[in-house]
Structure formats: C-alpha cells, structure tokens
Amino acid sequence: MLDKLNHIGIAVPDLDAAAIIYRDVLGLEVIGEEIVEDQKVRTLMLKVGQVTIELLEPTAPDSPISSFLEKRGGGIHHLAYDVMDLEAELARMKKAGLRLIDETPRIGAGGHRIAFIHPKSTGGVLTELIESES
C-alpha cells in the first residue's frame, strides 16, 4: 500500500526561470537540487508545508521530460508516493493488472530505489513509487 505522498513532479522547459517563480515569488523553500543522469533531468526540490514540489527540466532531447514538454508544454508530470517494500508493491500491482513502466526498481533522485506506473493505469497521472528507508 502507498504510505504517503513524497512529492509532486512538475515539468518545466526552463528550470532557472521556474525557480525564480517558485522560490522568489511564491516563496517555496529550496531543499535540494540534483541532476538525475538515468532520467536525463535536472531537478529542483522545493518545500511548502508538508508537501514537496519537484521541478524537472530535461538535460537531453531524448529525456522523458522533453517528450512530455513537446506534447503538453509543461505541467504536472507525476505524483510520487513512498512505499515500504518496492518489489512487493510492484508484484502486487502487476498482479492487480496495473501497467508498470518499471518491472524492477531503478535508482532515482537521492539514490532512492524507484519505479514508475503507467498513467493509463492511474487515471492519466504518471505515478512514481519510492522505497522509503526504514
């Protein structure tokens, strides 16, 4: 089962321009910045209350974020949830008929084990599962 919402991912064409809005105008607190080579993205994590927002900018034309920006021009890209046992959750969800993008975990931001569920299975929203350290 899902534990809690970890973050909301938002695709942006220009991370520095988006940072000015989110950090300086909206006043969200920056809590991290990272390049995730595996997903070809540059990320900025910001916090507002209990919620973390992850801004995502592509670092290559073949980044998944590049194709999202081409199709949608930016916007909410995914919701990420914490889970205790990622392999067990993936097996359970597959058995329930959900379409998995990652059948096995891969390494995401912060070195965490992550996996994505196809948006076709989750109401049109790409879903990321993150194994929480316990």
Nearer to Co ion, 54 or 89 (CB): 54
Count Cα atoms within 13 angstroms, Cβ side, for 67: 5
Nearer to Co ion, 79 or 98 (CB): 79
- What does the angle CA 101 – CA 105 – CA 111 come to, to the nearest 5 degrees? 120
Q: Site residues (CB under 5 A) for Co ion?
A: 9, 54, 80, 128
Nearer to Co ion, 104 or 110 (CB): 110
Decide: 83 and 95 in contact? Cβ < 8 Å. Answer: no
- CB of residue 6 vs Co ion: minimum separation in angstroms? 8
- CB of residue 8 vs Co ion: minimum separation in angstroms? 8
- CB of residue 131 vs Co ion: minimum separation in angstroms? 13
Q: Give the closest residue to 13 by CA, choosing from 85, 82, 95, 68.
A: 68
Residue listed under structure tokens 């392999």: 87
Nearer to Co ion, 65 or 93 (CB): 65
- CB of residue 98 vs Co ion: minimum separation in angstroms? 18
Could you list the beta-strand ranges (E) of 1-134.
Answer: 5-11, 29-36, 41-48, 51-58, 75-83, 106-107, 113-117, 126-131
